């Protein structure tokens, strides 16, 4: 994970994931603001559409990668003790993976 | 990845803060806040798809005044991070790198974020 997220790769990953997030968020925002679902059935049906489900998962995946690169920078800047830094990074890594799996669970329950 | 002994000066209260610096540290802070908000977002998403009651509840969490204030703050946090991020993307593409333009765009982000957040809350 360290090699993958270092230097130029991390920089590029953060920019690309930012664009993915921006695109995905815009689509969901437009849907919720201008074509909001009126019933639970409408909402679940729309979310269950493969295109929408995949878009949601892409959005969350982008969010997790973007968040990881970001939070890693923050932790490296402010946590100087090596052992504690590894611990904090591990906590955030587990947290972000858990968020991704939770999103997957939500999508699979549709 | 050895923790080294070189001096580090990160006291935010003592470092001089031009508008670009303030905007930048807020970009970092809003980023961390947004990460911490992830579980809440997913919780309400799940709530909204699980039952008719959950669906109605999820639609109305921001209806009352405290909810509106929370929505404004959330929108402000998101918009600041987003607009500052866009500014950085443009700077990556060599747009707005000159000092005067950079100062203006940083100030613009600081002002636009709460203003657009307020507009969004009032309109919705």
pLDDT of residue A14: 95
In contact, A89 and A72? CB cutoff 8 Å = yes
Which residues of B sit within 8 Å Cβ distance of A?
A: 1-3, 8, 10, 28, 31-32, 34-35, 38-39, 42, 45-46, 48-52, 54-55, 59, 82, 85, 89, 92, 124
Task: Please give chain A's pLDDT, 110 residues, in tens.
Answer: 455 556 889 999 999 999 999 999 999 999 998 999 999 999 999 999 999 999 999 999 999 999 999 999 999 999 989 999 999 999 999 999 999 999 999 999 99
Helix, strand, or coil here: A2?
coil
Between helix A82-108 and helix B19-50 the angle, nearest 10°, is 40
Q: What is the pLDDT of residues A42-68, one digit of tens each?
A: 999 999 999 999 999 999 999 999 999
pLDDT of residue A2: 54
Residue A55 to residue A50: CA distance in whole angstroms: 8
Higher pLDDT, A6 or B21: B21
Cross-chain residue pair A22–B82, CB shorter than 8 Å: yes
| A23 phi and psi angles, rounded to 5 deg | -65, -50
pLDDT of residue A1: 46
In chain B, % of residues over pLDDT 70: 98
pLDDT of residue B2: 60
ipTM here = 0.90
B5 vs chain A: nearest CA distance in angstroms? 10
In contact, A63 and A17? CB cutoff 8 Å = yes
pLDDT of residue B15: 80
Q: Check whether B3 has a pLDDT greater than 50.
A: yes
As a whole number, mean pLDDT of residues B1-29 equals 85
pLDDT of residue A7: 85
Exposure string (b/e) for B12-43, b if CB count within 10 Å is 16 or more?
Answer: eeeeeeebbeebbebbbebbebbbeebeeebe
Q: Which residue of A34, A40, A42, A65 to mutate against B (max B Cβ within 10 Å)?
A: A40
Q: What is the pLDDT of residues B54-104, one digit of tens each?
A: 999 998 998 899 999 999 999 999 999 999 999 999 999 999 999 999 999
Q: For A106, which of B49, B59, B82 is closest by C-beta distance?
A: B49
| B52 phi and psi angles, rounded to 5 deg | -60, -40
B39 vs chain A: nearest CA distance in angstroms? 7
Helix, strand, or coil here: B124?
coil
């Amino acid at each position: 994970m360290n090699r993958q997220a270092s230097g130029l790769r991390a920089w590029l990953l953060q920019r690309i994931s930012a664009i993915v997030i921006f695109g995905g968020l815009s689509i969901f925002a437009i849907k919720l603001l201008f074509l909001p679902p009126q019933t639970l059935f409408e909402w679940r049906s729309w979310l269950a559409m493969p295109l929408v489900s995949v878009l949601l998962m892409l959005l969350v995946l982008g969010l997790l990668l973007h968040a990881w690169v970001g939070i890693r920078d923050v932790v490296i800047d402010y946590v100087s003790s090596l052992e504690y830094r590894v611990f904090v990074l591990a906590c955030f890594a587990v947290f972000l993976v858990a968020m991704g799996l939770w999103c997957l669970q939500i999508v699979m329950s549709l | 990845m050895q923790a080294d002994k070189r001096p580090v000066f990160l006291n935010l209260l003592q470092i001089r803060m031009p508008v670009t610096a303030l905007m930048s540290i807020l970009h970092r802070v809003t980023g961390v806040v947004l990460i911490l908000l992830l579980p809440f977002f997913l919780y309400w998403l799940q709530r909204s798809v699980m039952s008719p009651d959950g669906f109605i509840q999820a639609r109305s969490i921001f209806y009352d005044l405290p909810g509106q204030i929370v929505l404004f703050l959330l929108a402000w946090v998101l918009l600041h991070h987003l607009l500052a991020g866009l500014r950085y993307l443009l700077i990556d593409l060599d747009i707005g790198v000159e000092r005067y333009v950079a100062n203006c765009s940083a100030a613009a982000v600081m002002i636009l974020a709460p203003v657009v957040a307020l507009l969004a809350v009032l309109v919705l």
